[in-house]
Amino acid sequence: MSLETQIAICTEHYNMWKDKALFTNDICQARKALERAFFWLELRSALLFLLVVEKTKGNNQETKRKLIEAKINLSKKLTDYLKEMINELA
Protein backbone atom coordinates (compact mmCIF):
# COMPACT_ATOMS: atom_id res chain seq x y z
CA MET A 1 0.00 0.00 0.00
CA SER A 2 1.40 3.37 -0.95
CA LEU A 3 2.12 6.08 1.58
CA GLU A 4 -0.45 8.31 -0.11
CA THR A 5 -3.14 5.67 0.44
CA GLN A 6 -2.09 5.18 4.06
CA ILE A 7 -2.23 8.94 4.64
CA ALA A 8 -5.73 9.08 3.15
CA ILE A 9 -6.88 6.24 5.44
CA CYS A 10 -5.41 8.01 8.48
CA THR A 11 -7.18 11.22 7.48
CA GLU A 12 -10.53 9.40 7.21
CA HIS A 13 -10.12 7.77 10.62
CA TYR A 14 -8.95 11.02 12.21
CA ASN A 15 -11.97 12.91 10.88
CA MET A 16 -14.36 10.15 11.98
CA TRP A 17 -13.03 10.07 15.56
CA LYS A 18 -12.78 13.85 15.76
CA ASP A 19 -16.43 14.18 14.73
CA LYS A 20 -17.47 11.53 17.26
CA ALA A 21 -15.63 13.43 19.99
CA LEU A 22 -17.22 16.73 19.02
CA PHE A 23 -20.77 15.47 18.74
CA THR A 24 -21.09 13.23 21.79
CA ASN A 25 -22.54 14.37 25.10
CA ASP A 26 -20.75 11.70 27.13
CA ILE A 27 -17.42 12.90 28.51
CA CYS A 28 -15.92 9.39 28.68
CA GLN A 29 -16.84 8.65 25.07
CA ALA A 30 -15.52 12.04 23.97
CA ARG A 31 -12.22 11.36 25.75
CA LYS A 32 -11.81 7.96 24.09
CA ALA A 33 -12.72 9.39 20.70
CA LEU A 34 -10.19 12.20 21.13
CA GLU A 35 -7.46 9.73 22.08
CA ARG A 36 -8.20 7.76 18.93
CA ALA A 37 -8.35 10.91 16.81
CA PHE A 38 -4.94 11.99 18.11
CA PHE A 39 -3.53 8.54 17.39
CA TRP A 40 -4.63 8.79 13.74
CA LEU A 41 -3.40 12.38 13.49
CA GLU A 42 0.00 11.39 14.88
CA LEU A 43 0.23 8.42 12.49
CA ARG A 44 -0.78 10.64 9.57
CA SER A 45 1.89 13.21 10.47
CA ALA A 46 4.58 10.53 10.67
CA LEU A 47 3.54 9.10 7.30
CA LEU A 48 3.57 12.57 5.73
CA PHE A 49 7.09 13.07 7.02
CA LEU A 50 8.18 9.73 5.56
CA LEU A 51 6.60 10.63 2.23
CA VAL A 52 8.50 13.92 2.11
CA VAL A 53 11.79 12.21 2.97
CA GLU A 54 11.13 9.47 0.41
CA LYS A 55 10.38 12.03 -2.32
CA THR A 56 13.36 14.26 -1.54
CA LYS A 57 16.13 11.95 -0.35
CA GLY A 58 14.88 8.45 -1.13
CA ASN A 59 17.68 7.59 -3.59
CA ASN A 60 20.30 6.96 -0.92
CA GLN A 61 20.64 3.35 0.37
CA GLU A 62 21.04 4.50 3.98
CA THR A 63 17.92 6.65 3.69
CA LYS A 64 15.97 3.74 2.22
CA ARG A 65 17.02 1.53 5.11
CA LYS A 66 15.97 4.14 7.67
CA LEU A 67 12.65 4.64 5.88
CA ILE A 68 11.97 0.91 6.07
CA GLU A 69 12.82 0.88 9.78
CA ALA A 70 10.49 3.82 10.37
CA LYS A 71 7.68 2.11 8.45
CA ILE A 72 8.19 -1.04 10.55
CA ASN A 73 7.95 1.01 13.74
CA LEU A 74 4.74 2.66 12.55
CA SER A 75 3.32 -0.75 11.65
CA LYS A 76 4.10 -1.97 15.17
CA LYS A 77 2.37 1.07 16.61
CA LEU A 78 -0.69 0.40 14.46
CA THR A 79 -0.68 -3.26 15.51
CA ASP A 80 -0.62 -2.25 19.18
CA TYR A 81 -3.52 0.14 18.58
CA LEU A 82 -5.54 -2.60 16.89
CA LYS A 83 -4.81 -5.06 19.70
CA GLU A 84 -6.11 -2.45 22.16
CA MET A 85 -9.26 -2.00 20.08
CA ILE A 86 -9.84 -5.78 19.98
CA ASN A 87 -9.36 -6.05 23.75
CA GLU A 88 -11.98 -3.33 24.27
CA LEU A 89 -14.46 -5.24 22.13
CA ALA A 90 -13.85 -8.53 23.96
Report pLDDT digits (tens) over 26-83.
999 999 999 999 999 999 999 999 999 988 887 889 888 999 999 999 999 999 999 9
Q: What is the pTM of this model?
A: 0.87
> For residue 70, what are the CA distances in angstroms to 6, 14, 23, 35, 56?
14, 21, 34, 22, 16
Q: How many domains does the chain have?
A: 1
Digit-coded pLDDT (tens) for 12-37: 999 999 999 999 999 999 999 999 99
Q: What is the pLDDT of residue 38?
A: 97
Q: Among candidates 21, 26, 64, which has minimal Cα distance to 41?
A: 21
Cα dihedral: 88, 22, 77, 65 (round 10): 160
User: CB–CB of 44/11 below 8 Å?
Assistant: yes
Domain hosting residue 31, numbered range: 3-89
For the chain, give the number of residues: 90
